[in-house]
């Protein structure tokens, strides 16, 4: 399961490297030592970081259902909460489940594609080392903080990406579409085999509401193996999204979105197709959720409907953030979200820490007591605070705390920590 904050002009990357015939192909850097370094503030794309910020908020909203109660992970949806909480849970599952992890996955793949686009094939060992440390961080998060970790899955599936590093945009897109379709077929087969038996939520409510850190830690140690094993089941779908993201990097689709009318037209066509299809699939899921059985959930929401809707969200946000005539408030929103996106690992980990302290027994013990009507405002407030904190932090430091540790481990030496308040890094 992963820049300049200024706007509106940030197309120097496109102009410097060109958008001609060979723009999307692998190139061999003339100096690996100059390119084998972390991406600097002025090399980043503000709107891509803002997209990552949106994904972080959407993931937090969906994860709230698992942080705060047994529905979504330990019981069938819509069986624990009632009244307003039930309808808000339904709304989150319909409008957000499966969509924002799609955006985050595509952007993870985009980072992979840009890494090799800019560095060349020789950068594979460094990327593998980067994945290895992400795996280590994910395992600590999975077993020590929250069982809903996605970093471990991202790192493990990320290793499968490496053989695709030298492919061009079209090949990556073809492989990605095929892998994603294979994932859908896999979940169709699993659904046809029968719905899994629902677990009794009461023991989980008792554990998370009243259990101490040691008790919950032991439960996570037992659940962790299942979470790791789930990477196999999700491998085709997530790998497909990674490859599609890599194709966007090789084709410079995000760079072109603000510099080319043809590219913007292509983004609009993509949204025009994905949005109604995604909404239709989610509407079918919405109706089924209101019935007695949650059949075809993995297909209609997580595997098919959610990703298609996620593509639409990604396209809409890209068009909005790269519009040449966008108003000042939109520029400010982009900058704010981009700050969180630059610190994605720190934001993601801190969300788990804060939410488990709020809802678990070794914290305030609100698990199963506070429904989405209270939980969603809490999630929104937390994210706003994280955005403000990220902006304050990045005015003083080059990386977020977790990003600094991850990059330092990846490059084998402590990265420069403090930063001068230059225009391209504030």
Domain segments of the chain as ranges: 40-425
Reference 165, options 94, 110, 113; nearest CA is: 113
Residue 39 pLDDT: 59
User: Are the beta carbons of 50 and 390 closer than 8 angstroms?
Assistant: no
Residue 193 pLDDT: 57
Residue 228 pLDDT: 82
Q: At CB < 8 A and 24+ separation, what contacts does 88-91 make?
A: 88/371, 88/372, 88/373, 88/376, 89/65, 89/371, 89/372, 90/286, 90/289, 90/290
Residue 19 pLDDT: 37
Residue 199 pLDDT: 66
Please give the chain's pLDDT, 426 residues, in tens: 332 222 333 333 333 333 333 333 334 343 444 455 555 555 789 999 999 999 999 999 999 999 999 988 788 888 899 999 999 999 999 999 999 999 999 999 999 999 999 888 788 999 999 999 999 999 999 999 998 899 999 999 999 999 999 999 999 999 999 999 999 988 887 766 555 555 688 888 999 999 999 999 988 888 777 778 877 888 999 999 999 999 999 999 999 998 889 999 999 999 999 999 999 999 989 988 887 666 677 788 888 999 999 999 999 999 999 998 888 888 999 999 999 999 999 999 999 999 999 999 999 999 999 999 999 999 999 999 999 999 999 999 999 999 999 999 999 888 888 776 544 443
């Amino acid at each position: 399961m992963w820049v300049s904050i200024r706007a509106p002009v940030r197309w120097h990357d496109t102009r410097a490297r060109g958008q001609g015939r060979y723009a999307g192909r692998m190139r061999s850097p003339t100096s690996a030592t100059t390119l084998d370094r972390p991406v600097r503030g002025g090399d980043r794309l503000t709107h891509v970081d803002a997209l990552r910020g949106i994904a972080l908020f959407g993931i937090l909203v969906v994860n709230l259902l698992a942080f705060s109660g047994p529905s979504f992970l330990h019981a069938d949806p819509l069986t624990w909460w009632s009244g307003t909480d039930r309808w808000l849970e339904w709304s989150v599952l319909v409008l957000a489940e499966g969509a924002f992890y799609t955006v985050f996955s595509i952007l993870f793949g985009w980072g992979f594609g840009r890494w090799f686009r800019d560095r060349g094939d020789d950068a594979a060992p460094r990327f593998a080392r980067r994945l290895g440390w992400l795996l280590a961080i994910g395992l600590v998060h999975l077993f020590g903080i929250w069982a809903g970790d996605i970093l471990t899955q991202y790192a493990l599936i990320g290793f499968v990406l490496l053989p695709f590093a030298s492919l061009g945009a079209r090949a990556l897109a073809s492989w990605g579409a095929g892998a994603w379709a294979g994932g859908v077929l896999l979940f169709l087969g699993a659904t046809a085999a029968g719905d899994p038996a629902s677990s009794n939520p009461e023991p989980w409510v008792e554990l998370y509401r009243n259990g101490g850190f040691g008790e919950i830690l032991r439960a996570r140690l037992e659940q962790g193996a299942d979470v790791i094993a789930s990477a196999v089941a999700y491998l085709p779908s997530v790998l497909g999204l990674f490859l599609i993201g890599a194709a966007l990097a090789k084709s410079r689709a995000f760079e072109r979105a603000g510099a080319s009318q043809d590219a913007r037209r292509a983004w609009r066509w993509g949204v025009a197709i994905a949005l109604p299809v995604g909404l239709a699939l989610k509407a079918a899921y919405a109706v089924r959720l209101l019935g007695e059985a949650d059949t075809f959930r993995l297909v209609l929401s997580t595997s098919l409907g959610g990703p298609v809707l996620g593509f639409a969200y990604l396209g809409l946000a890209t068009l909005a953030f790269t519009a040449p005539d966008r108003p000042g408030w939109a520029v400010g929103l982009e900058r704010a979200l981009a700050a969180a996106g630059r610190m994605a690992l720190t934001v993601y980990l801190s969300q788990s820490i804060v939410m488990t302290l709020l809802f678990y027994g070794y914290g305030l013990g609100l698990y199963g007591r506070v429904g989405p009507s209270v939980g969603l405002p809490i999630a929104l407030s937390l994210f706003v605070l994280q955005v403000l904190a990220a902006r304050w932090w990045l005015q003083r430091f080059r990386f977020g705390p977790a990003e600094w540790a991850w990059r330092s481990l990846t490059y084998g030496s402590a990265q420069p920590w403090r930063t001068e308040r230059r225009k391209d890094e504030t």
